Amino acid sequence: MNKDVPLDVIKGTVERIVFHSEETGFTVLRINVPGYPEPVTMVGNIPEVMVGETVHAHGRWVINKQYGREFHVESVRLVPPESLEGIEKFLASGLIKGIGPVYAKRLCEKFGTRIFEIIEKESVRLEEVEGIGKVRRQLIKQSWEQTRTIRNIMTFLLEHGVTTARAFRIYKFYGEEAIQRIKADPYCLARDIKGIGFKTADSIAQKLGIEKTSDIRARAGVEYVLLEISSDGHCACPRHVLVEKASKILEIPPDIIEQAIDHDIEAGHLVMDTLGPAPSHRLIFLAHLYRAEYELAERLKNLLLGEHPASISNIDKAIEWSEKQIGLKLADAQRQAMKTALTNKVTVITGGPGVGKTTLINAILKVFSAKKLETLLCAPTGRAAKRMTEATGHPAKTIHRLLEYDPSTGRFKRNVENPLEADAIIVDEVSMIDLPLACSLLRAISPHSALILVGDADQLPSVGPGAVLRDIIKSNVFPVVRLSH
């Protein structure tokens, strides 16, 4: 789809609401549009809309193979109906609590087209209508104000260039404080709302009159540069490099960037760690990545303590037995690796393709199974997990699935309070795991469990922050076995 082509515009009245999701805002409407012989199907993320309302929408026409021609919405503005018939339909739709078809008819007969004004400014007069007492009147007033607040928020966001889908997510996150929060700090959108980056937030900030050289923009820009750097695998950036990059991208003087960095260090959003006297040794971290590095190291060291859950008295005998089970003779390096994995609670097995990592894992699984250990297998991607399942005959999951990722909260259900029920966990393709995911995995591993990390340290690192496998090996703290042939 060519984004350079101007959006189509249509205006019509809502005839029917086919579908509306309160969770996502996804909506399917049938709209009466002047000049069209049949109602138009409108699809997209639309705030709660009611029959009789007028819809001004920008979007594109799409041919749906199953449903035919549809108008897919990019942005939408809702206008309350003006005709008495439209107002009655709107009130009868159920949007305003306390009003159904019966009371909608009575209210329109009593107040005519002034009914919206009466609800907003003279709500006590609603009690003049038969059947409406104080309790119902207050319910109607409260529901009207809530609906108006939602509409005001959506209108504000759309006027500032936010798409309807994003506007709905913003409202769901901030609720009734959305306008207040965004006016105070439009860059909070980049921090809090998935899919909204610094550039979008910066565009909104400019429309709100935020100065290009403002401190709030400089601080948000520094965070943006660090996030961009982290997407290349780095957890930190030398301070002088950060200042240079941020100053160039934001087009503001370096001294303002310096002040922004100092402010966020003091506020705890950034951390500076000095590793030596040279300027390149003054590293700036995003605070959550700095904490994650320390947490991951501590959790791995603590996991290393204690007895291995397999509790094998004769390792050599166990290895010989496993060779018979898999029908293969292990090489010396594989046997040494297996000894390490059966005696240490954290083991790293590294090596390139074709060096026997899978054979080794199969032998270890035979021993774990004989010892009746509950063993879980996982990998960072679906493809890697599938290969692992096919190679071992044991079910393997993605790390996200293993940790029971909840899209509605963006969190994992498996954590310190709700750890994985496993005696041993084997993780493949560890070089592809970034720091935050590795930290989440370690949080969900019980102190008594054994952990085997498998991967190629020479492979390209993860697309996220951190070179987890490489750094674990370089630390020289954990048992590492290198397979070369």
159-216 pLDDT, tens digit each: 676 776 777 778 888 888 888 899 999 999 888 887 788 888 998 898 888 999 999 9
The pTM assigned to this predicted structure is 0.71
The CATH code of domain 84-160 reads 1.10.150
Output the CATH code of domain 306-483: 3.40.50.300
Q: Does domain 8-79 have CATH number 2.40.50.140?
A: yes
In the chain, the N- to C-terminal Cα span, in Å, equals 50
Whether residue 215 contacts residue 256, with contact meaning beta carbons closer than 8 Å, is answered with yes
CB 305, CB 346: distance < 8 Å: no
Q: What are the domain boundaries of the chain?
A: 8-79, 84-160, 182-286, 306-483
Cα(184)–Cα(162) distance, rounded to whole angstroms?
17
Q: Provide the residue type at 407 as one letter.
A: P
3-state secondary structure 231-273: CCCCCEEEHHHHHHHHHHHHCCCHHHHHHHHHHHHHHCCEEEE
Q: What is the CATH number of domain 182-286?
A: 1.10.10.2220
The candidate with the shortest Cα–Cα distance to 286, out of 378, 195, 219, is 219
Residue 168 CB partners (closer than 8 Å, separation 6+) = 24, 25, 45, 47, 154
What pLDDT is attached to residue 219? Answer: 94
Q: Do the domains 84-160 and 182-286 sit in the same CATH topology, yes or no?
A: no
Residue 3: predicted pLDDT: 53
DSSP letter, residue 349: E
Average pLDDT rounded to a whole number, residues 249-265: 94
pLDDT tens sequence across 65-103: 888 899 998 888 777 777 888 888 888 877 788 998 999
Amino acid at 315: I
pLDDT band at residue 366, thresholds of 50, 70 and 90?
A: very high
The confidence score (pLDDT) of residue 175 equals 82
For the beta carbon of residue 306, count every other beta carbon within 10 angstroms: 12
Q: pLDDT digits over 301-331, tens only?
A: 999 998 999 988 899 999 999 999 999 898 8
d(C-alpha 419, C-alpha 413), whole Å: 9
Q: What are the structure tokens assigned to 420, written together?
A: 């994985």
